[in-house]
Amino acid sequence: MSIEIQGINKFFDKFQALHDINLTIPDGQLTALLGPSGSGKTTLLRIIAGLETPESGRIRFSGRDVTDLHVRDRRVGFVFQHYALFRHMTVAENVAFGLNVLPRKERPGKPEIRKRVKDLLEMVQLEHLAGRYPAQLSGGQKQRIALARAMAMRPEILLLDEPFGALDAKVRKDLRRWLRSLHDELHFTSVFVTHDQEEALELSDQVVVMSNGRIEQVDTPLELYGRPDSRFVFEFLGQVNVLSGKIRDGVMSQGDAWIRLPEGCENDDAQLYLRPHEVRLTQSASDQAHLPFSIEAINLIGAEVRIELKPDGWECDELWEVGISHTEFNARQPQRGDRCFTVPDVGHLFCEHSPEPKTLEWR
């Protein structure tokens, strides 16, 4: 079931929490609402659910207008950050709860409810815990039960608000993968709220980046990461290295730093944004770029070695960061304080007088 959101505005007293939101959430896909705290993600999710009423705009589920439909009649499932399981009920009773309280004529028979609960517990791989109480479960297990409970009503739309927010990093990662594979199997339409970029990029088919009650960009994770439309999206989606400078006759410079730009870059004040994997660490400058640094810190933990660089003879607000393989690190043995250079392969140029960013390649 697709979700069409059209012209949604939401106020809390005089404060406008959402500004003219227009968005289509495709059928059967996992969509992330991603943004900093207070950007309006939860408010939008609650409006889709019917828990909050917008001042203007319409919500449609596969073309059917549900704006004035009560939450109970929208047939959506919810999972919240805090699992909200009933403490005095066993796992099986929790999963069956929604079915047991249905009006008599809609309620499946007892054997059917038992079968559905068994199937759902199998799906979340927790059949063996059916008789336990929530207090006897880990956080990750509770969250899987909360998901089974939401799925018991066979919703066509599942809404998740920071579903893994309260869990530690390892459990979070496992649950993410598990939700992804469950989704691939069952193909329901899901919308989940997160402020974790990695989670959004890893889990979803489509990411909606929000800021200050507005949508900044809607794209696949790959497009979003590779071609951000704005500085905000660029900065929000991970580490970024920035060179601010002036472009004159095809060369961008600031202090001792300069870089020759590919053809077609007008004279202007500009900022060049580069992801850590888009620059190489070198021992000398190239014909194309003179970007001098000293090594500020070396972090050996992880799949690659992260090296933090302090500009030497020029300025930037935050340290630059590059990654090199452990093999390269062992061969070169760079030390803190060493002078070095970076050479960009790809960069993204934001000019003061042109609205569109430009992707540049030097390879």
The one segment of 12-20, 66-74, 112-120, 245-253 that binds ligand ATP by CB under 6 A: 12-20
Check residue 14 for interaction with ligand ATP (CB under 6 A).
Answer: no
Alpha carbons 61 and 75: distance in angstroms, whole number: 10
Give the x/- contact pattern for ligand ATP in 180-199, rule: CB under 6 A: -------------x-x----
Closest to ligand ATP by CB, 17 or 252: 17
Looking at 5, 23, 35, 204, which residue binds ligand ATP (CB under 6 A)? 35
Q: How far apart are CA 168 and CA 87, in angstroms?
A: 22
Judged by beta carbon, residue 42 or residue 190, the one nearer ligand ATP is 42
Determine the interface stretch with ligand ATP among 37-45, 55-63, 137-145, 181-189 (rule: CB under 6 A).
Answer: 37-45
Q: Which residues contact 172 (CB under 8 A, 6 or more apart)?
A: 164, 199
* Torsions phi, psi for 109 (to 5 deg): -65, 165
What DSSP designation does 29 have? -
Question: Closest CB to ligand ATP among 35 and 221?
Answer: 35
Provide the minimum distance between the beta carbon of 38 and ligand ATP in the complex, in angstroms, as a whole number.
Answer: 4
CA-closest candidate to residue 310, choices 361, 270, 235, 255: 255
CA–CA dist 21, 9 (Å, integer):
7
Q: Is 333 in the site for ligand ATP (CB under 6 A)?
A: no
Helix and strand tally (H, E) in the chain? Answer: 9, 22
Give the list of residues 6+ apart from residue 303 with CB closer than 8 angstroms, or none.
none
Among 17, 49, 113, 259, contact with ligand ATP (rule: CB under 6 A): 17
Least Å from the CB of residue 37 to ligand ATP = 3
- Site stretch for ligand ATP (CB under 6 A), options 32-40, 84-92, 109-117, 290-298: 32-40
Nearest to residue 293, comparing CAs of 339, 241, 335, 239? 339
DSSP 3-state percent helix, strand, coil across the chain (nearest 5): 30, 35, 35
Q: Does 86 contact ligand ATP by CB under 6 A?
A: no
User: Could you list the residues that contact ligand ATP (CB under 6 A)?
Assistant: 12, 15, 17, 35, 37-43, 193, 195
